[in-house]
DNA sequence: TTGACAACTTACTAACTACTAAGTAAACTA
DNA sequence: TAGTTTACTTAGTAGTTAGTAAGTTGTCAA
């Protein structure tokens, strides 16, 4: 009865449910069902839903920080970095069936427990800060062309990606690609 | 015991709750509490939550179609129309406390009853279609400058506004204004 | 081989969810 | 003024939610 990776499997299932139905829309029972395990087993690994939610966003933050620290990413030029950032959202979208973490959490922010709110806020700020730096450096290197502050441009691009995965899900999956093309076009 | 506008007051309260906590995060009880009325009174006006949700989005669709049909809006130039569209989201944001209808609904789309899904989809397509037309006409008139299809640009702008009200709520309310400035800058 | 521990189980609980049936009081209508 | 309708009420329902306490079993270390 070892199967120590149950914890990780819970998180993977919870992640999918969160990004399908939102934070208030997912519960322990379907996770337990999919894992062939009782409800209380989930509570063994994550005593409260707040713990699980926090762990989910924390893992995503660790992943983002790990990736952005990688030489392979750091060595990319400005366009390469932008493409990588957009590809995160293409993966989130999963062909128009899901939305991104922040989109799923932020639209029901007032219903989130405090620990989840603060993790979501931190992930948001970390992604925004990284993107701002890429945009600033890219403009200075002559790769990007845009007006105004890099911080504002970062908000625009991240907002557009977050909004586009949501809109793509209810209209056409292709709309995410449309948005990404336009983001690229607006930086030339 | 007349007070016939209870129906409208229910909708107004439900609207606020929906845009604070999302569809699955709001329930009849707090609405009844705020109105000083019993739970069952809400069910008298809206038998099911699906009915209430549908009525909410339908009303928003009617409003959007009414406004866009108005001479005052139709007579605006391209920049004026764009500004009006952005102002919808400034109103939605309410100083960074709420999100827009579509953002609230789309991020938990798989948890919505069918009637609400289809209303949300229709509102989305109607807004996108209107914006596309404005962008196309604006480019032809020489007001806007951008590359690629107008439909793609419409997705970009609407995605950005929808995402920005969400991001503004958890970071800084000012971020919506930053995004709007950048939308404008990217059309010049 | 014993005892501690990890990873569960069974069997619950309290609170909340959407929803309903039956009754009531005031207003409007024939 | 009798009957109908409108806008509720009281008093429930069944289902789901997050969470808990106490017991069970396999693994491993001393």
Per-residue pLDDT of chain B (188 residues; tens, 9 = 90+): 334 689 999 999 999 999 999 999 999 999 999 999 999 999 999 999 999 999 999 999 999 999 999 999 999 999 999 999 999 999 999 999 999 999 999 999 999 999 999 999 999 999 999 999 999 999 999 999 999 999 999 999 999 999 999 999 999 999 999 999 999 999 99
Nearest residue (CA) to C1' of C20: B40
- Which residues in chain B are contacts of A124 at CB distance < 8 A? 167, 170-171
pTM: predicted TM-score of the whole model, two decimal places:
0.95
Q: Which residue has the higher pLDDT, B5 or A23?
A: A23
Q: Residue A1's pLDDT is what?
A: 34
Q: Say if residue A4's pLDDT is above 70.
A: no
Chain B from 49 to 78: CB within 8 A of any A CB:
none
Question: Which own/partner contact pairs does B31-40 have at CB distance under 8 Å and 24+ positions apart?
Answer: B35/B6, B35/B9, B35/B10, B37/B6
Whether residues A178 and B152 touch (CB distance < 8 A) is answered with: yes
Residue B115 sits at the chain A interface (C-beta within 8 Å): no
Distance CA A150, CA A87 (A): 20
CATH fold of A50-185, please? Tetracycline Repressor; domain 2 (1.10.357)
- Across the range A7-32, mean pLDDT stands at 96
pLDDT tens digits along A75-93: 999 999 999 999 999 999 9
Q: Residue B1's pLDDT is what?
A: 34
Nearest nucleotide by C1' from B43 CA?
Answer: C19
Give the distance from residue B147's alpha carbon to the nearest chain A alpha carbon, in angstroms. 6
How many other CB atoms are there within 10 angstroms of residue B64's CB atom?
Answer: 17
For tokens 């395990």, what's the residue?
Answer: A37
Residue A183 sits at the chain B interface (C-beta within 8 Å): yes
Distance CA B47, CA B36 (A): 19
Residue B118 sits at the chain A interface (C-beta within 8 Å): no
Q: Residue B4's pLDDT is what?
A: 60
Q: Residue B5's pLDDT is what?
A: 86
Scanning A75-149, the segments in alpha helix (DSSP H) are: 78-93, 101-106, 114-140
- Which residues in chain A are contacts of B160 at CB distance < 8 A? 156, 159-160, 163
Tell me the CA–C1' distance in angstroms for B28 and C18. Answer: 8
Q: Which CATH superfamily is domain B49-185 in?
A: Tetracycline Repressor, domain 2 (1.10.357.10)
- Which residues in chain B are contacts of A23 at CB distance < 8 A? 22, 25
Distance CA A40, CA A46 (A): 10
């Amino acid at each position: 009865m070892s199967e120590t990776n149950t914890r990780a499997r819970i998180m993977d299932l919870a992640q999918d449910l969160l990004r399908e139905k939102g934070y208030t829309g997912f519960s322990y029972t379907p996770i337990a069902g999919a894992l062939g395990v009782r409800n209380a087993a989930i509570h063994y690994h994550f005593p409260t839903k707040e713990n699980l939610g926090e762990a989910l966003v924390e893992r995503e933050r660790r992943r983002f920080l790990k990736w952005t620290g990688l030489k392979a990413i750091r060595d990319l030029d400005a366009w390469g970095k932008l493409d990588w950032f957009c590809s995160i959202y293409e993966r989130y979208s999963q062909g128009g069936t899901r939305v991104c973490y922040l989109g799923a959490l932020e639209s029901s922010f007032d219903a989130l427990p405090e620990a989840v709110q603060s993790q979501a806020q931190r992930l948001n700020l970390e992604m925004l800060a990284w993107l701002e730096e890429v945009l600033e450096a890219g403009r200075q290197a002559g790769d990007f062309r845009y007006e105004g502050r890099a911080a504002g441009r970062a908000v625009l691009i991240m907002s557009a990606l977050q909004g586009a995965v949501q809109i793509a899900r209810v209209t056409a999956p292709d709309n995410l690609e449309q948005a990404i093309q336009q983001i690229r076009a607006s930086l030339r």
